[in-house]
Structure 1
């Protein structure tokens, strides 16, 4: 099946992005243009990419880039927004970024257009004010280097061939040293590929060894690994890393546990707890991923002998990590003896039969175990009746 997006002209693409935005977001962006007083302004990032991929999102993340080279002051624009709408904002002068509160509870990021270089690979880049084009050229992948201009005629900026990448449904790094300078981009690529069904461009695969070399020297890598836990299905991203030869970035066995947890309908804390369970040294993972104590406590409860309701996070996690241990009081030999069974080989056979049912997930309560046991007793091959 051909999963490629239809070819789009920049003009058609611009209209598609605009039409994909909710009415409230279009109104927000129109008002922000007034606040910017004519300074170049553009919508960038995931909202543009996902609109062109046809990914439905009723509340897209809004990232807006402002060109400040010609006198526009980002803090002033943020203040005008708050004065006009009554919505608060947070301004970070060190980074020339602002977070604008929206009426529906979301936040839009207003950032200064910039160009960057990496004095030391793996560390934070140095940034200088730049144009919208330069801001797109500093980004990670072609599909993320697209922008919808908000001032003047509606247009889509595509200086890096992002539309062609969307057509091919490929993730392509923008620079030959991209993963060496920032190894966290490899994990981000896996998240995007898993969630959006994108393929790795040959250039991405060529740079995987660079990312692995620099992984321990890139603090931001841990933040990206933490974001795996927020993906709808982290196992998909883990599978991407494995297929690309970077599965060692996660503890062995994590992908399979995540796959089982996703099938069981679990939550972020359970994914984190499973990762800690597989990590040879859980404490560094807990600290570097900033997990807090919640996942570790959930893991401790799941591994305990306490009884939890079927369908609870503890019960689901226990069934995944310890399939031989049921999440209800399993029948023991003493239960059968109390019910009138006699000691002997048949009792042992019955207990072994029940254990096999538990391991295959064919019983989920003590009542089902009794019913299965009565059915087993009725079989001729079950031996002596009790």
Structure 2
């Protein structure tokens, strides 16, 4: 049987392509793989397409299918149950499609893929070439698909071939009135949702006097007609220039629209490898994240749209300064700390001079480090106002060789302009001021805020909520802003328990922590080098406090946006988007969720995604963290991040990691509730050769890990108060198939201590000896089992139970855990001494015999132990007769 099918939720182009394919494969059966779009279902009701013999999937015998003809799709994920027959030997698969390549594309025996507006165009061309006739009804159906997928020939993906196909169908009798009635620009629920996201995320940037709107959305699968949504956004908001970015699958799609001659969007699209017209253009971008594309777009626009700057738009603020009576050495240290080369000298709020690093270094060279800055500062200098022009600024910095130009307003310094600022501006405009479509310049306009107080109150204990509020109140009192960040916020939104709180303060984190500790009577530890602190509460709960990056970056003006940018930069250094969420704690904004990088979206999509393409190069341990988070949360690593991981592994970046860092990440994976999925994923990414090229993560090793987890769970439930180093148990399992030399090399790679190396080598030798020598030999008494297992720690015993091939050793180890290991004699060494036995090695012999007798059930209490001694060692107590009981 030959079957023609298409994608789930078939649209008009899908149906039209099926009808067209039927002309090429007249004996084939038409079958939809799933549901159809609403408009298509309505068309079925009101038309006579049933005459083409469409069959229901449930009425089809898949075993009879020998040829599968796919139209308007080639993705495995979109063909429903037909995926079951793809790998059948001898299956003849033919593919006709116009969509861009995707990761799960099917490769058929025959493939005809063309970048045209509609798949029906491809099939129509074949029909024309073969001289096949098309009835008016067929031509109308095929025209429906053509008009729908090209937006009535207005979409950018429309090609000359689409017009030629339309002409042929019109000559074949296509009813354009019917087409006009059916093809409407009615949006689907999915498209309405995307349009809403575009409007919500849209930010307007003022660049050289031109308002440029940029909107972003992110979806996991490809959504058609994105250009239609951008067009509607432009019309709804009456925008002159709009760029929309959509992350779909493993790439970012850019669509640009412009009404003004100053901006040719085809030039912008060409920068990203796309094209189009001056008023409408698009591009498809791979190997960049959505955040990176947005930044590159802004960079290009700033260089493309030539601005006319003012001093206020170029200056650096807040101003770093020194005072006249500060010593030369102290002022020099300030410049080193903030990595600057010049700064103003301020006295009582007034600027009285300028100084430079070169002057201070020369003074120190001459032994003048203890002299005051006042003695060497420059007092002949010029200042500018906030509206000073670029030419005026250049005249001071270049022509008059002034190293720094203060910007004054109302007799106070509001910023400074350095040569670096000027050079940076000439290279790229640093305008970052953005506002929403509704004119709000607050952070909420561009960081996607929402209030999650209800979630906080629902998920967190009352004392934790109060602690967070106390943090916010203190931050406000100190003139700072405090945020909870990272995994704590992520797990709060996921409704997962996590009280490991990290606080980021826009200000001095150590001052914040010290003040809080003093006011609440708790301990505080701090690290000046990293400007971090740890608050230690009476119940041993700890809260980490850190300062947001405190470098003085160049900003257009001293606006509140400057403060938030420091938080943004702090979050940008984190590993994955889902860990970049921040929770505002200050009064008045408590519970506001701040999302600069689409973390909420990726939580919703259950996707692990890095922030930029060098993330894994900067820290290869993120490879293992991505795998751990993916499996812990049931998420999946984004396609681009997968590609970056594979590339990082190929580059050998994991080999460059220090052993202790690598071990730490592996330990974290091995203490997950079920380490097998992440370990299996590590195998898929070819991570194991970083430890040993001979680790074979095959079915045998997977089966061992299944048994290890079962035994670990058994131990945890059986002995709730007994700690077990789970990572060590699983490490024993991982290395169990390696030769001794390979184990030693792997331990060296992980920088195991000498004690750990000795322990693992001893464990393998001894466990093997017991499993293959001791247990199979004969039925052993409890005392023999106790003596054999007593040298082992619980981790090795758990490993032994999982490694055992039959029930005998597993039962023996279980009995040892439950029955034998805590057995002891009632008589002790002091009793033997009181009984007159001379001290010496005989004590150990007697007590071991008594313990064996206890284990084997030969004695049960103190009196029976005395009787045992009377029978076995009466000579030690003066010959025959009663053995004295020292307790009597």
Q: Where does 1:150-161 land on structure 2 (aligned, <5 Å)?
A: 150-151=585-586, 152-154=588-590, 155-161=592-598
Cα deviation for residue 112 of structure 1 reads 1.8
Is residue 198 of structure 1 aligned with residue 629 of structure 2? no
Is residue 110 of structure 1 aligned with residue 545 of structure 2? yes
Q: Where does 1:360-379 land on structure 2 (aligned, <5 Å)?
A: none
Is residue 47 of structure 1 aligned with residue 506 of structure 2? no
State the TM-score, normalizing by the size of structure 2.
0.32
Look up the match of 1:277: 736
**What do residues 70-113 of structure 1 show as CA deviations (whole Å, max 9, x unaligned)?**
xxx22222212221222212101111111111232221111121
**What do residues 341-372 of structure 1 show as CA deviations (whole Å, max 9, x unaligned)?**
xxxxxxxxxxxxxxxxxxxxxxxxxxxxxxxx
Is residue 26 of structure 1 aligned with residue 473 of structure 2? no
Cα deviation for residue 279 of structure 1 reads 5.4
Residues 130 and 218 from structure 1, CA distance in 2 versus in 1: closer, same or farther, beyond 3 angstroms? farther
Is residue 142 of structure 1 aligned with residue 624 of structure 2? no
Q: For 1:285 and 1:35, how far apart are their aligned partners in 2?
A: 49
1:98 to 516, 533, 538: 533
Residues 321 and 164 from structure 1, CA distance in 2 versus in 1: closer, same or farther, beyond 3 angstroms? same
Q: Which moved more, 1:293-302 or 1:138-147?
A: 293-302
Is residue 226 of structure 1 aligned with residue 670 of structure 2? no
Cα deviation for residue 275 of structure 1 reads 3.3
Q: For 1:290 and 1:112, how far apart are their aligned partners in 2?
A: 32
Cα deviation for residue 21 of structure 1 reads 2.1
**Secondary structure of 2:583's partner?**
strand
Cα deviation for residue 28 of structure 1 reads 1.6
Task: Check the 8 A contact 1:17/1:48 in 2, yes or no.
Answer: no
Look up the match of 2:796: 314
Q: Identify the structure with the greater strand proportion.
A: 2
Q: Which of the two has higher C-alpha Rg?
A: 2
Task: Check the 8 A contact 1:146/1:157 in 2, yes or no.
Answer: yes
Q: Where does 1:1-386 land on structure 2 (aligned, <5 Å)?
A: 10-13=449-452, 15-17=454-456, 19-36=458-475, 37-55=478-496, 57=497, 59-68=498-507, 73-114=508-549, 131-151=566-586, 152-154=588-590, 155-212=592-649, 213=651, 214-219=653-658, 220-249=661-690, 251-253=695-697, 256-265=703-712, 267-278=726-737, 281-283=742-744, 285-286=746-747, 289=750, 293=755, 297=759, 299-300=763-764, 302-305=767-770, 307-308=788-789, 313-323=795-805, 326-327=809-810
Task: Check the 8 A contact 1:230/1:268 in 2, yes or no.
Answer: yes
Cα deviation for residue 226 of structure 1 reads 2.8
**Secondary structure of 2:450's partner?**
helix
CA RMSD of aligned residues (A): 3.3
Structure 2 residues without counterparts, runs of 5 or longer: 1-196, 198-447, 552-563, 714-725, 771-786, 814-888
Q: For 1:114 and 1:210, how far apart are their aligned partners in 2?
A: 30
Q: For 1:14 and 1:142, how far apart are their aligned partners in 2?
A: 22
Residues 99 and 130 from structure 1, CA distance in 2 versus in 1: closer, same or farther, beyond 3 angstroms? farther
Q: For 2:571 and 2:580, how far apart are their aligned partners in 1?
A: 5
Cα deviation for residue 114 of structure 1 reads 2.4
Residues 259 and 231 from structure 1, CA distance in 2 versus in 1: closer, same or farther, beyond 3 angstroms? same
Q: For 2:470 and 2:614, how far apart are their aligned partners in 1?
A: 39
Cα deviation for residue 42 of structure 1 reads 0.6
Q: For 2:809 and 2:669, how far apart are their aligned partners in 1?
A: 29
Q: For 1:161 and 1:222, how far apart are their aligned partners in 2?
A: 31
Q: Which moved more, 1:242-251 or 1:140-149?
A: 242-251
Cα deviation for residue 215 of structure 1 reads 0.9
Look up the match of 2:312: none
Q: For 1:17 and 1:88, how far apart are their aligned partners in 2?
A: 26
Task: Check the 8 A contact 2:646/2:685 in 1, yes or no.
Answer: no
Task: Check the 8 A contact 1:269/1:295 in 2, yes or no.
Answer: no
Cα deviation for residue 65 of structure 1 reads 0.8
Q: For 1:290 and 1:170, how far apart are their aligned partners in 2?
A: 33
**Secondary structure of 1:42's partner?**
strand
The higher-RCO structure (CA 8 Å, 6+ apart) is 1
**What do residues 139-196 of structure 1 show as CA deviations (whole Å, max 9, x unaligned)?**
1111111010111413111000011101110101110121122211010011111111
Q: For 2:457 and 2:685, how far apart are their aligned partners in 1?
A: 35
Structure 1 residues without counterparts, runs of 5 or longer: 1-6, 117-128, 331-386
Residues 207 and 106 from structure 1, CA distance in 2 versus in 1: closer, same or farther, beyond 3 angstroms? same
Task: Check the 8 A contact 1:140/1:178 in 2, yes or no.
Answer: yes
Q: For 1:90 and 1:304, how far apart are their aligned partners in 2?
A: 49
Q: For 1:172 and 1:264, how far apart are their aligned partners in 2?
A: 34
Cα deviation for residue 249 of structure 1 reads 4.7
Q: For 1:279 and 1:31, how far apart are their aligned partners in 2?
A: 54
Look up the match of 1:126: none
Q: For 2:673 and 2:757, how far apart are their aligned partners in 1?
A: 17
Q: For 2:520 and 2:810, how far apart are their aligned partners in 1?
A: 52
Residues 329 and 192 from structure 1, CA distance in 2 versus in 1: closer, same or farther, beyond 3 angstroms? closer
Task: Check the 8 A contact 1:133/1:157 in 2, yes or no.
Answer: no
Task: Check the 8 A contact 2:524/2:533 in 1, yes or no.
Answer: yes
Task: Check the 8 A contact 2:510/2:546 in 1, yes or no.
Answer: no
Q: For 1:29 and 1:232, how far apart are their aligned partners in 2?
A: 29
Cα deviation for residue 115 of structure 1 reads 8.4
Q: Which moved more, 1:263-272 or 1:131-140?
A: 263-272
Q: For 2:803 and 2:581, how far apart are their aligned partners in 1?
A: 43
